[in-house]
Amino acid sequence: MPLQGKIAIVTGGLSGIGHAIAKRMVSEGARVIAADITSDEKSLSDRELAEFHVDVSDPRSVERLVDAVVQLHRRIDCVVNSAGIAKETPFLDTPIETFDQIIAVNLRGTFIVGQTTARAMRDHGIGGSIVNIASISGLVGNAGRTAYGASKGGVITLTQVMSVDLARFNIRVNAVAPGPVDTPLVEQRHKDARRGQWTELVPMRRYGRAEEIAAVAVFLSSDDASYVTGHVLVADGGLVSFIFYASPTPEKQGQHSDLRA
């Protein structure tokens, strides 16, 4: 098992992609702390999959999490920053409060958790892996995702900077950029017509599964990716490639029909 004996923290680990990652890490041998704002647990139990309450946008809350993990397990080997929120609002209608809230959780939270856990990894001299969950919305413009797209674009750049600054401590930092993925939140928001539109755009003609994103996060967290850092791994069924290379004009659409097959 690639994560045998590893100590891992997964923020947002009680729902959606984060929960899938936490469960997959356990199945691959890790002891996992699912750190989530929805958890009521304020003390850390020594279970294969434990819960802990954290607000990733609050440095003191994150420090309590890291202190609890280090006190119990003596080290942190893997971190996955999966905590995030989203709201789709046209640019001109996006309230400043909404923009600030999404940036605070998605970008500021990734920074705070990444910095605090990296300091623990450095101080214990063992190195480690940090995986940030970004999005294809951080790579290409997407209508209505002013704050979300900005936050995930920031996560991608932050990942690259972290990878350079932390390499000398043997800390690898990578990002996963998922496309449309079936999670409870997406199922609520993407109803029949909208779901059909997204499915039509994805060359693989389906949404991803949270378990598929979890498999990518586990690979990047494992020693199998020991020479991989600063990388953004896109897991989107080919959607970004289609957006970049397929012509939107009807007269040229046939030239790219193979991308839609």
Here the tokens at position 152 are 């995930």
Phi and psi at 174, nearest 5°, equal -135, 170
| Residues 6+ away with beta carbon under 8 Å from 187 | none
What's the CA gap between 18 and 240, in Å, rounded? Answer: 22
Catalytic residue status for 148: yes
Q: Dihedral of CA 115/178/182/190: which sign?
A: positive
Task: Please identify which residue in the block is written with the tokens 């020479």.
Answer: 227
Q: What share of the chain is helix, strand, coil (3-state, %, to 5)?
A: 50, 15, 30
Catalytic residue among 148, 207, 227, 245: 148
Residues carrying an active site annotation: 148
